[in-house]
Amino acid sequence: MHSIVEANEEEKQGVCSICGPTKLYKVTASTCTNGYYWSCELRNKQKNERRKNRPRTKHQPAQTYSYSYDGGTLKLNTKQREAIIAKYSSTCAICNTFTDNPQIDHCHRTGRIRGVLCTRHNTALGQFKDSTGDMRAAIAYLDRHDTTHVYEVEKIRDIV
């Protein structure tokens, strides 16, 4: 295996255990403590050839979508997921607006699918961990603190 046994980083020259005296190439590597390692000319060339000849694959969307719940995991394939989204016309069940990125909402206790939501409302329900008590408390909080009860900036400055 090629390894650099001597290195002059300023001149980018070194000695490889296999190639002997060689030009050095700095290779970025997150696994190295300093973030890089030195490679000899031949190893660097071989690596670049492998990278260049590697078959290119296009990004494939997930074939299986997983939704976790207390009793396990609900798995849907792409056709099942698209059928559910089509059933709800990509419309959020809370704000009743069309969404480009529909999220399938499910009960985290039973795993049952409840409908389709926009990202904003799906995230909000997730933050409340599906707790209707916490959601009611949040609504009551907002009702108690409508704009007529909010401190004006000047009054807050006086308090501090």
pLDDT tens per residue across span 126-140? 899 889 999 999 999
Whole-prediction pTM value?
Answer: 0.52
The full set of domains in the chain, from first to last, is 4-53 (no CATH), 64-144 (3.40.1800.10)
Contacts of 139 (CB under 8 A, 6+ apart): none
pLDDT in tens, the chain (160 residues): 778 888 888 888 888 888 889 888 877 776 666 777 778 888 878 887 887 777 766 655 668 888 888 888 889 998 999 999 999 999 999 999 998 899 999 988 888 999 999 999 999 998 998 899 999 999 998 888 776 555 565 566 666 5
Q: What is the secondary structure of 130-144 as a DSSP string?
A: T-HHHHHHHHHHHHH
